[in-house]
Amino acid sequence: MSRLSRRTFVYTAIALLSAGLGPQAIAAEPIKIGLITALSGQSALAGEAISRGMLVAIDEINAKGGLLGGRKLELVRRDDEANPAKGVVAARELIYKEKAAVIFGGLDTPVSMAIVPLVNQAKVPFMGPWAAGTPITKNGANPNYVFRVSAVDEIVDMGMVDYAQKHFKTSKFGLIMVNNPWGESNEKGLVAALAAKGMKPVGSEKFEGNDVDVVPQLTRLKAAGADTLFMVGNVGPSAQVVKSLDRMGWKVPVVSHWGPAGGRFTELAGPNAKEVHFVQTYSFFGKQSPVGEKVIAALKAKYPDVKGPENITPAVGVANAYDAMQLTALAIERAGSTDGDAIRQGFYKIDGYDGLIKQYKQPFTPAVHDALTEKDYVWAQFIDNRILPVGLAQ
């Protein structure tokens, strides 16, 4: 080694050590966790809820010393603007530039469906804390790198039918669905759920995400004799369904997937937003478990706008993301590395975890990549801009 290069080496080493970047610090570089979700637009509130759930979990994990011998977790976020093409661009950046160990998907089934082939090809685990499309996890890949802590359409659809029959005592169901892969997933699931009970829908109608008038579709469902509507759509289009019902003067029960919970639904839908009953996986209202109390306290400490359960909204975004992040951390620990395939197998090695939504017992197997079941759902309404379980909403 020349005198100049030796001098450069010594100076560089001194500079690194002075900055606290010695061999141990360099080895303990952060583990990057990517998040692709809507951080702007009508569903930004839900994207922020996912972020908050993840960050509370990450703070907790880092406070305990991090993972893999002291490596801290670092969240790297990208806004997909609810656009599949932008979601794919974000996924490529997180995989190949940021070298994220695991990527979390966000809100929209079409965005997640566009990302799924990419992560399976790149062998990077993908965790879903919101999008419920059945084919996201049941995607046919072997090995499959996609996991989820969220609702699953085909299970929610059975729950929607059961809930409508028990709560409203109705039997003539009309389907009003957004015209995209999420709507298609639920149309298929609802038809199957009704067929299992010897029934079929009296009609099935589609609407576009930017429609501002759904009266023609609803008029056809009314003429067909529908006494209950099953609705699937995100915040904006779901609000248009409610406003179109108002214009028609048609008072009919609406049982919905959880799309309305993702943002400014009450503001956009008007006073009859409260008439929509929708599925949730968690509520911060009512008696909480020790984990629930801990999460509420952490949210209050971290976010000044959180004064109580009414400010933790949508609750499913926070709860699903919190549990999903904790389970992902366990998978990384079981893997003993940040190698994608090792983490995938690490998910199968989780025996149990006392979570926010429930106590998980072997939540993932090679055949089952969804941690939540039909027993993990609650039904809710908007009351005074608050998402309350139906029992508390009366």
In a domain, 392, yes or no: no
Structure tokens at 219: 């008029």
Same domain for 219 and 138?
Answer: no
Per-residue pLDDT tens digits for 34-65: 999 999 987 888 899 999 999 999 999 999 99
Same domain for 351 and 207?
Answer: no
Structure tokens at 8: 């450069």
Same domain for 254 and 136?
Answer: no
In a domain, 124, yes or no: yes
In a domain, 248, yes or no: yes
Average pLDDT of span 269-278: 92
Tokens 């025996």 appear where? Answer: 351
Same domain for 339 and 268?
Answer: no
Same domain for 89 and 111?
Answer: yes
Q: Measured between alpha carbons, how far is residue 105 from residues 4, 39, 113, 137 in Å?
A: 49, 12, 10, 12
The pLDDT mean for the chain works out to 91
In a domain, 44, yes or no: yes
In a domain, 250, yes or no: yes
pLDDT above 90: percentage of residues in the chain: 77
Same domain for 189 and 216?
Answer: yes
Pairing of strands 102-104, 73-79: unpaired
Residue 168 clears pLDDT 70, i.e. is over it: yes
The reply to whether omega before 366 is within 30° of 0 (cis) is no
Q: Which DSSP string corresponds to 186-208?
A: HHHHHHHHHHTTT---SEEEEE-
Q: Which DSSP string corresponds to 133-153?
A: -HHHH----SS--EEE-S--H
> Which of 14 and 267 is assigned the larger pLDDT?
267
In a domain, 184, yes or no: yes
Same domain for 251 and 136?
Answer: no
* Termini Cα distance of the chain: 80
Average pLDDT of span 186-199: 96
Find all residues with CB under 8 Å of 178, minimum gap 6, and list them: 206, 207, 208, 209, 232, 233, 234, 237, 259
Write down the pLDDT at residue 384: 81
- Report how far residue 392's alpha carbon sits from residue 386's, in angstroms, rounded to the nearest whole number: 11
Same domain for 145 and 162?
Answer: no
Same domain for 251 and 294?
Answer: no
- Report how far residue 113's alpha carbon sits from residue 132's, in angstroms, rounded to the nearest whole number: 11
Same domain for 115 and 187?
Answer: no
Of 224, 249, 280, at which residue does a domain stop?
280
Residue 17 clears pLDDT 70, i.e. is over it: no
Q: Measured between alpha carbons, how far is residue 131 from residues 89, 148, 268, 304, 382 in Å?
A: 18, 9, 22, 28, 21
Same domain for 36 and 147?
Answer: yes
In a domain, 1, yes or no: no
| Cβ atoms of residues 193 and 157 within 8 Å | yes
Write down the pLDDT at residue 89: 98
Largest separation between any pair of C-alpha atoms in the chain = 90
User: How many domains, the chain?
Assistant: 2
What global pTM score does this model have? 0.83
Of 280, 302, 327, at which residue does a domain stop?
280
CATH number of the domain that 219 lies in?
3.40.50.2300
Same domain for 146 and 158?
Answer: no
Of 230, 264, 280, at which residue does a domain stop?
280
> Residue 46's domain spans which residues?
31-151+287-375
In a domain, 10, yes or no: no
Per-residue pLDDT tens digits for 333-384: 999 999 999 999 999 999 999 999 999 999 999 999 999 998 898 899 988 8
- Report how far residue 354's alpha carbon sits from residue 331's, in angstroms, rounded to the nearest whole number: 15
